[in-house]
Amino acid sequence: MRKEPLLEIADLRLDFRQGDRIVEAVRGVDLKVFEGEILGLVGESGSGKSVTALSITGLLPKTASVRSGKIFFDGMDLLASPEEDLRKVRGSRISYVFQDPASSLNPVFTIGEQLMETVVLHQKAAGRARAFDIAVESLKDVGMPSPKELMSAYPHQLSGGMRQRVMIAMAISCRPKLLIADEPTTALDVTVQAQILELLSELKEELSLTVILITHDLSIVSQVAEKTAVMQQGRIVEYGDTEMVYRKPSHPYTKKLIDCIPKIGGR
């Protein structure tokens, strides 16, 4: 049985205006993401991973223009959708987790206030009492001990890993179908990195999430992703089952990335 992809990007091209210069950031990206899988999108810095992800829900900077392409999500033609419809999709059906949890959280508000604000924003029907419960529930989902007490804590009282868990709680509080995690572990040390990756895998199972995991580090993808797409200079140069990509990389750039992973006991 062949499934329809949950997200399909076809021939996406976009560029940036920089003065009178045009920088082609995405040069014909095709990508399919199927329901219930983690897709690892890997490539070096500047290869176009983030702008591809942002284009999905129309979050691109004003200097960017989409030249061509289609993005279908669950039957919806996103690039042709008005901003009002995209706003409904953002945060409730597709949500993001970004690299730096320190700058994504506001230092002057408690964790609870920020979580509840997100909940109320996306689930307008939810009153404050209900929003509180949903927020606490989300903190439980991401494995936070004593979630009720945590609601009144400020971001600076938490470690980097904890803050990233809060960001993930925020992203899943509205039960999105698709979670886009853009370098979610890059700012964290290795042990915490592994814990966050494990959490993403668990959430995928428990909440039937589909995940796009963006990273410059192929070893991260290999730990959790079923599918791997390798991006280089605005194009997808390799795509397939993670295991196959590892065992039989077809593109020289992928081989280079694999060679860069330190192997335990290897040369």
Instruction: Name the site residues for ligand ADP (rule: CB under 6 A).
Output: 16, 18, 23, 25, 43, 45-51, 61, 63
Which CB, 63 or 159, lies closer to Mg ion? 63
For residue 152, the tally of other CB atoms under 10 A from its CB is 11
Part of the chain binding Mg ion (CB under 5 A), chosen from 46-54, 74-82, 132-140, 157-165:
46-54
**Which whole-number Å values give the CA distances from 240 to 29, 78, 177, in the listed order?**
15, 24, 22
Interface residue with Mg ion, options 7, 29, 31, 50 (CB under 5 A): 50
CA angle 88, 231, 245 (to 5 degrees): 110
> What is the number of the residue whose Cβ is closest to Mg ion?
50
Edge-to-edge order in the sheet of strand 178-182: 94-97, 178-182, 210-215, 38-42, 227-232, 235-241
Which amino acid would we find at residue 67?
R
The secondary element (H helix, E strand) that includes residue 71 is: strand 64-73
| Burial class of residue 31, CB neighbours in 10 A (0-12, 13-18, 19+) | buried
Which CB, 27 or 130, lies closer to ligand ADP? 27
CB 184 within 8 A of CB 97: yes
CB of 47 to Mg ion, least distance (A): 8
Part of the chain binding Mg ion (CB under 5 A), chosen from 10-18, 45-53, 171-179, 194-202:
45-53
Which CB, 140 or 251, lies closer to ligand ADP? 251
Which CB, 138 or 232, lies closer to ligand ADP? 232
CB of 219 to ligand ADP, least distance (A): 17
For residue 262, the tally of other CB atoms under 10 A from its CB is 6
CB of 151 to ligand ADP, least distance (A): 33
16 binds, among Mg ion, ligand ADP, none (CB under 5 to 8 A by kind): ligand ADP
Which CB, 53 or 78, lies closer to Mg ion? 53
Residue ranges binding Mg ion (CB under 5 A)? 50
